[in-house]
Structure formats: structure tokens, C-alpha cells
A and B are shown apart, each in its own frame.
Chain A
Amino acid sequence: MSQSSTQKQTSLAQQGYRVFDLVRKFARGAQEIEATLTSTTGESLRFGNNELGQSQFTKSRTLSVRLASGKKQARTTTGRLDESFIQKAVEKTVAQLNTAPEDPDYLPMLGRQKYPTLNRYHERTVEESAETKAGHVGHAIDLARKNKLLASGILGTSFDEVFMLNTAGLEADYRGTGGYFSLTMDADNGNQTGFAMSTFADISELNPGEVSETALERARLNKAQSEIAPGKFDVVIDPNAWSEMLFFFIVSASTGFSPDFGVRQYREGRSYLSGRMGEKILGDNVTLVDDVYHPLQTGPAFDGEGYPKSKLTLVEDGLLKGLASSRISAHRYNGVNPTGHELPLPNPLGEAPTNLVVHGKGGTKTTDELVSELDKGLLLTRLWYIREVEPRTKTLTGMTRDGTFLVENGEIKRPVKNLRFNQSLLDLFKNIDGFTEPVRNTSFTGTAMLQPGILARDFNFTSVSPF
């Protein structure tokens, strides 16, 4: 079986035209209409305790309808695409539209646009059989068994499609594939543990044996950990270890987990960055861009209202340089141009970067080479449960897990017990002495991130776990 068996039906675009006709039919009185059809098909083999316990196939589609009249707008989303349910959803939106307050930021819908071509669909990811994927999982489990370890993790693939239409003539579509193989090998109730992960758009890129060997090697090393006193350590952080940290760079808990790098939030004073444009917020050797066109990135070339995304430099050589923008911000503020970072409208939160890429100067080293440059410090292979403690300095707390190693004279000496950190992310970015190339990360947040492994100074650990 493969995911493709259900994809050889009507294409999403064909369904989209039919659905849009129905939406128009029922949206009586609305001056403008936007319809967005999304489809996600996924297959995942989830395993734990050396058992393949949760094999899942999932398919879902949604239709989101935005109607507008005057300066009023309303949105309804439905998971059913039968005519009667579309009618129900659209009539509900019409009712909401009639009673909605005027939106001071409302702008007429966007007309036809041109988008750069993005080839993000890889048939093999969709076609790969469950049996082949189960073979990769089986190999990991066999390897774990032979080494008296327990394997747990997931091998998941997905196929995403988006099709957007509106009455102003806009048509935008996207199809892309993705997946990841995430693996933990452990023993002794997690007192001995190792982690590895690989992500892909084309499953041909996946080297499952390498993932298994890395998790095994780390698990072999990471047992009988000694306790070290917390304090400041130089660290090497594996590129797959810290995507959650970067998420808090662009989102703040202080304002209810709303995005910070948008023009509207910045100008309204809601962002922790407000008033800091041009300020040195990171180190000289760090540049941060939002670039949906990077070959390792994912997602469509248009934003929540169909505006084409631009490559945007947010931080250049450590200086706060740019913000995500939109038509609303361009309308509100002089001298602002849209960058294609609007969320689906109506959007009172503000704009948000969606495709972060962290570039470090001299970023051609491997994690092993960074470790070899560490006189004394720690190698962190995975960080966990990161949360904001203080927004202005972006002080974050979190834990290490699945392998924290003491390094001396460029060599891994021994594993140590897990540590809690309280570390300013801005300070961390000022203390980086070495980078790997950025790699694709999965993130619990849904923001697509490419980030490098780093060698950083004075990382602040505050307490120790018993394991």
C-alpha cells in the first residue's frame, strides 16, 4: 500500500473549481469571495519498545471560505466537501458577515499574481510502500535488539496540497511532499539513550541506516553518566537539537504567543523588538533570512491572502534589518512594501516569517569538527521543553536529553546527567564561534526552519536532573 492510491482521484485544482462554483452559488450578498482548499495525506509507522505499535494512514481536506462586503469580512472552515455541507458553511459565513464589526484594516481581495515555480512534489515519497518503510523500521529495531536496546520513533511521510481562488481573479496552488525519520534507542528506563533524526522532501534522500547507526552510537556512549555542577559551559549544539529555541526568537509568550517579526506588531509596540531596528541584536557572524525559495525549504510561494513571498533579510551581520510585511502594513504605514507574510485573513495578530534560514559565517564545518575545536565543554545532541522566561532578553529555559557529553581537548570524554539551562537566546547568538551548514528541522510549531549546528561560548546551565 502507498499513499498514492487515494491521490489518483480528481486533482485538488479540479475539485477547487467545482467547490468555488458552489461557494459562489451560496454566498449571496457577499461582494468578494475567497476559497482555500487544503489537503493533507500522511502515512506514519510509529514504533516503541521494539514494537511497531501505531501504523497510521491519515487523510484530511478542508475548505476555508472568506467572504467580504464593504469593510466587513468573515471566515468559516469545513472538513466536508459535499454540496450540502458547503452550503451550510457558506451560509454560516454570510450570517457572520452580516453581523461582523467593520475591520479597519480591510483591503479589497488580491487579483491574479505570478509566482516563481517551486518543484516540491516528489512522487517516490508518496509511492514508497509501507512494506519498504516498515523494513527501515525493522532494521532499526533489529539493531537495537542486537545491542540490548529499545528502539522507538517514527518514520512519517506527508503530501500537502493547497489551492486558493478568489473573485478578483487570484489562483494559487501548491503541492509538496515531506517526511522524517526520528529514532531513539534506549535502555534502563531511558537512563541510557541516544537520538538521531533525518528529514526529507524526497524519501530517496533518506539514509535510514545512518540514522540508526547514529542513534546506536550515541546510546552506546550515553550510559553511566556522571553529574557535573551546573554553570557556564562552552557548547557544541547539534543542528537537529535546537529548533524549538529558534521558534521563541520569532514568537513571544508575553503577548499570548503572538509573532514578533511583523511590521504591525513592531509599529504597535507589541513586539519585544519594537524600537530596536538597526540595533545589534545578534553576533556579527549571524544572518537570519526568511526564504521560502531555499532548496531545503518547504511550503508555498504565497501567503495567507495569495501574495507572492519575497526572500526577506530579518537580521544581517547581527543587525535587526527587516520585518515581515503585508498589504495591510503597506496600506497603514508609509514606506512599507508587502513581503508576502500575511496570515489567513482576518488576522489581528500581524505578519509572521514562515521559512527561517540561519546563516553563519564560515559555516562549512561538521558537528564533529566543531567538537574537535572545543577545548572543554559539552556536546548537546537534543534540547527539550523550551519555554520563554523573559521576553526582552529572550531568556529561555529547557532541558538537555538523549545524550549530553563532556568534551575535553576536542574529544568526547564521557556522558553527563541532563542539565537545565536558563539562557538568553540573543546572548547565545552573540557568542557563536563556529557553524555547520544549516539543515532542515522539524518543529512542533509548524514553522519551517533551516538552522546550523553551532559552537557557542558560556551557555548557562542552572540545575541537574537525577538521570
Chain B
Amino acid sequence: MNSTKSLGEELSRVSLETAARENATYADFRLVNTISEVVSVINENPASEELNDLGAGMRVLYKGSGWGFADTDDVNPENIRETTRKAVALARGASKIGSKGSFVKEPVHVDDWISPKKKDPLAVSTDTKYGVLQDATGRMKEEGIVARRGQIFSTRIEKYFANSEGSKIFQDLTQTGASLIVAAKGPSGIQRRSIQQYVLGGYELLDDLDLPGQAPTLTKEALALTQAEGCPEGKSDVILSADQVGLQVHESCGHPIELDRVLGYEANFAGRSFLTPDQLGKMQYGSEHVSIVMDATVAHGHGLGTFAYDDEGVQAQRKYAVKNGKFVGYLMSRGTASHVGETRSNGCMRADTYKLPIIRMTNVSLEPGNWDYDELIEDTRDGVLMDTNYGWSIDQKRYNFQFNCEKGYRIKNGSLGEMIRGPGYSGITPEFWNACDAVGNQKSWVLWGTPNCGKGQPQQVMGTGHGAAPSRFRNIRIFGAS
């Protein structure tokens, strides 16, 4: 048997029995073992680090109204007992102030799940990874290039979950990621080109990405950007690359549909949301071409938001957040679902390692439309194509956003024209999505991984997935970075 699973079974018994003796209304226990490796090459300089992080988190509800949580990296039974008592003590204190809302039901699950992969990335030698990265960064060495950076990320997360209702779930997730960045200095300052992708899957990602094969093109483009014109200012039709649409979905849809922020629990840091419950089922969030799903199931793809069960034992599900433009659903937890009249959570509680689970995006994806990429360009008389994110910013209620991209092209009479540097666009979320009149089809749809979404206090980092295809938005405010 897997050692994390057997240790989890042993320690969960200790924790749940302790919580029961302390009169907890509900308790859950997670043991999480994370092994991650980062291999980097910057210019010629190599670095690698492997991190193995094991710990347990215990969540306790006391008198139905006070939540307490404690975690520890000292996973012996005696300390687990003591840490569970800490969680109960905190829950007792919290129950004096109180918490509203009920804890909705979830069927009991007893299951093991191993995520799909072809090649275990942690079984691939560090030496092999150095070889790939040095090949890629070596091909980027040209006059005018000031920084070359390649990274390969390999992660395995084993987690055992058990709760006082009887659920016992073991999951073994493998994630792989890679990035390549090249920076050139020239007349317009420093310009960057990059690629990155992160998936629930194995080292086969590196075969698909072919970093060395992409390096010369990225280098050429970075150098060309230092000579390119800036982006015009004003209103224009805009076509966004698939990765940029993915980040637009993340920031302007994924975050405002997090029900904890809607209810005010994140008001001090992550913020609130313009998508208030009175808008549910009524608000025209986007045009009829815009349908956005929250989908953690494997059927959706191998994204960073794919799993079998969330971190409070709720099974992975697929639900619409936006259906044909109408706002219809939130990312929820068992403790928040009742606030919007739901009787079951849709399984969005996730934790950074063994920390406290909070509502996070799963795979929040724009469903593909009907347009071939070439048709999208050919159908655009006058516009700008923007490709690969450079910077992103959005207000705390997720209305006012501004994004900058690494490169762009003018579009004239259905053809791509000259390259432009640092194109940017801005807008107000519902106005922007209602200006969407074309979404690329399945052929150009990619499930992108966002590995570093920050939320919570103390802050946690989480990977999320965003399926997207190149899409067109009419009459958008555009500008240049420099």
C-alpha cells in the first residue's frame, strides 16, 4: 500500500477520534505529501532544487457555528492528537463569535484515484532536464539578447482525506510544467518573448512543447520587438491569443464567481465581486457566444484544476458559470453553498499543500465556438492581434481590468500586418465579454495551466486550469506599453 495512504489512515483515526472526544460537530483530516522539483537554466547558469513537504491539516466545526483549523509538519500520532486539540480550541473560541450558513451534505466517498500520466516527470533525471534547457537557452544566444531562462517543474501530490462522516479518499496527482523566456535589449528598451504550460500529467508535456525547437522563433521575435512600432491608442477590434483569453477568463470570471469573496470573507485582501447573488440567473455577463464552465473532471482535460475530489471530499463536477452569456453559477464549498440556495457544493475547496482549504478555481474554461483561427483573422477588417500575456491587473470587485501582451500584429483587411510591441487593452468586465462576437473552435482550444494564483490570508498559491481559444472582441480600448 502507498505509504502516504497508510500513514493517512492511521493518523486520521487518531485525529477524528480526538475531535469526537472533544465534542466536535464535524471534523476532517488531510495528510499531504508533496514532492516538487524545479530545474532552471539562466543564461549558462544551472540550478535545481527538490522539495519534499509532508504535513497534516485538521479542520473542526464546534457547536455547528465555530470553525478551527490547525496544521503541522510533525506527523506522529501524539502530535496529531495535540494539533487536533488546538483546532478544537480555536473552533470553541470562534463559536463564541459565530458563523452563519449551514454545511450542506455530500455523499460518503471511499475511493483511490491516480491522475493520468505517460512519463513520471520525477523519474526523468535532472541531467536530462538540464540537457533540454541548455539546448533551448543555447539556441537563444544572440547579440542583443540579455536574458535567457528555461525552467522545468515536476510535482507529485499524494493526499489522504478522511472526515467524521465516513469519507476516506486517497489521491495521487502528478503535474508537470515548463517555461522559456528570452529578453532582448534594443531601441525600444527590453522586450520579452516567452512560452509556458502546466498540466496534470507527465513529462510527455516536454515532448509536446519542444522547447529547443521553439527557442529560435522566440529569440527572433524578441529581437524584432525591439525594432517594432508601438501599439496605437484608441478603440479597435481585438483578437486575443488563446493563452491571453485563458488569463482573461481567470481574472474576470474565475475570481468573481468565488462564492467566499461574494459573501465577504475575502474582503480584506482578495476583495469582493460584482457578481452578487441577486444577479444569479439574471445578469447578461457576456454575449451569446460566451459560455464558461467550472469543470474539475478528467473529461474536461488534464488541467491544474483537474482532480477526483476536492479538499473537503466533494466529488469533481462540471457546472456552468456562464451559459450563452448569462451568469448562472458560482464556485462553492459545503459551508457556502446554502447561501445561494444550493443543497450540494460543486467541489471547489482546495488547499496549498496541507494548509486550510479555501474556495479556488478548478478548470474555469471558455467553451469553444465555431471559428477557425484563419477565418477569424480573415473576417476582421481593421484590428489588432495580441499574443502572450505580459502584465495583468484588475480591481478588487473584478470590473476594471488592464492587460498587456508581449507581441501584437496589426490586422488589415483580413490579413496580419506588421508586428507591434507591448500591445495593451483595458475595459470593464461585463462590457468586454458582451463585446465578444467570435470564439475559436475546438482546433485552437487549449487547456492552459496557471500555476501561481494567490488568495487567502496567510496567502496560498494554487494551480488552476483555463480552457480557451482565440477570440474576438469589438471596439475595445487599446494602447501601447511604451
Question: Closest Cβ of chain B: how far from A134's Cβ, in Å?
Answer: 5
Most central of A56, A100, A444 by chain B CB within 10 Å: A56
Interface centre among A61, A100, A183, A254 (most CB of B within 10 A): A254
A52 touching B48 by the CB < 8 A rule? no
Alpha-carbon distance between A256 and B195 when the two chains are bound, in angstroms: 11
Cα A76 to Cα B35 in complex, Å, equals 11
Q: B266 touching A48 by the CB < 8 A rule?
A: yes
Interface string of B209-227 (1 = CB under 8 A from A): 0000000000000000000
Q: What 0/1 pattern do residues 61 to 93 of A give for CB contact below 8 A with B? A: 110100000000011111110000100110011
Partner of B100, one of A51, A64, A96: A51
Any B CB within 8 A of the CB of A7: no
Q: Are B49 and A75 within 8 A (Cβ)?
A: yes
Interface size on A, residues (CB 8 A): 100
A384 and B54 contacting across the interface, CB-CB below 8 Å? no
Instruction: Choose from B50, B86, B267, B426 the contact partner of A186 (Cβ within 8 Å).
Output: B267
Are B48 and A79 within 8 A (Cβ)?
A: no
Q: Which residue from B51, B82, B393 sits with its C-beta under 8 Å from A78?
A: B51
Give the residue of B68, B271, B393 whose beta carbon is less than 8 angstroms from that of A387: B393
A389 touches B426 (CB 8 A): no
- Shortest distance between the CB of B144 and any CB in chain A (Å): 10
Give the chain A neighbours of B263 by CB distance below 8 A: 48-49
Residues of chain B within 8 A (CB-CB) of A49 are 100, 263-265, 267
Contacts of A193 in B (CB 8 A): 267
Q: List 6 A-B contacts (CB under 8 A).
A: A130-B93, A134-B93, A134-B94, A153-B268, A182-B269, A346-B47
Question: Does chain B have a CB within 8 A of A205?
Answer: no
Contact A92 to B50, CB < 8 A, known contacts A190-B271, A398-B393: yes
When each residue 94-118 of chain A gets 1 if its CB lies under 8 Å from chain B and 0 otherwise, what string results?
0010011101110000000000000
B264–A466 CB distance below 8 A: no
Chain B residues closer than 8 Å to A255, beta-carbon distance: 146-147, 149, 181, 183, 190, 192
Q: Per a CB cutoff under 8 Å, which of A62, A274, A397 touches B391?
A: A397
**Residues 380-427 of B contacting A (Cβ, < 8 Å):** 390-397, 399-400, 402, 404, 422, 424, 426
Interface string of B299-324 (1 = CB under 8 A from A): 00000000000000000000000000
Asked if A214 is an interface residue, CB under 8 A from chain B, the answer is no
Given contacts A80-B73, A96-B48, A390-B422, contact A253 B391 (CB under 8 A): yes
The answer to whether A131 touches B93 (Cβ under 8 A) is: yes
Mask for A251-265, Cβ within 8 A of B = 1, else 0?
011111010000000
List of A residues within 8 angstroms of B43 by Cβ: 268, 348
Contacts of A183 in B (CB 8 A): 268
Residues of A within 8 A of B404 (CB): 387, 389
- Is B91 part of the contact surface with A, judged by Cβ < 8 Å? yes
Measured as residues with beta carbon below 8 angstroms from the partner, the interface class of chain B is 35 or more
Top 6 nearest A-B pairs (CB, nearest first) are: A348-B45, A48-B265, A348-B42, A55-B90, A99-B127, A79-B53
In the complex, given contacts A53-B99, A393-B482, what are 4 additional A-B residue pairs having Cβ atoms less than 8 angstroms apart? A56-B356, A253-B192, A389-B424, A397-B391
- In the bound complex, what is the Cα–Cα distance between A1 and B86 (angstroms)? 7
Contact call A420/B400, Cβ cutoff below 8 A: yes
Complex Cα distance A407/B70, Å? Answer: 46
Contact among B192, B260, B276 for A254, CB-based, below 8 A: B192
User: Given the interface contacts A55-B67, A254-B183, does A384 sit within 8 Å of B395 by beta carbon?
Assistant: yes
Q: Complex formed: what's the CA distance from A393 to B74 in Å? A: 48
Contact with A along B435-463 (1 / 0, CB 8 A): 00000000000000000001001110000
Contact call B265/A57, Cβ cutoff below 8 A: no
Interface: B28 (CB within 8 A): no
The B74-108 residues at the A interface (CB cut-off 8 A) are 74, 82-83, 86-87, 89-91, 93-94, 96-100
User: In the bound complex, what is the Cα–Cα distance between A54 and B351 (angstroms)?
Assistant: 13
Highest count of chain B CB atoms <10 Å: which of A58, A61, A76, A154: A58
**B272: Cβ under 8 A from any A Cβ:** yes
Beta-carbon contact of B402 and A48 below 8 Å: no
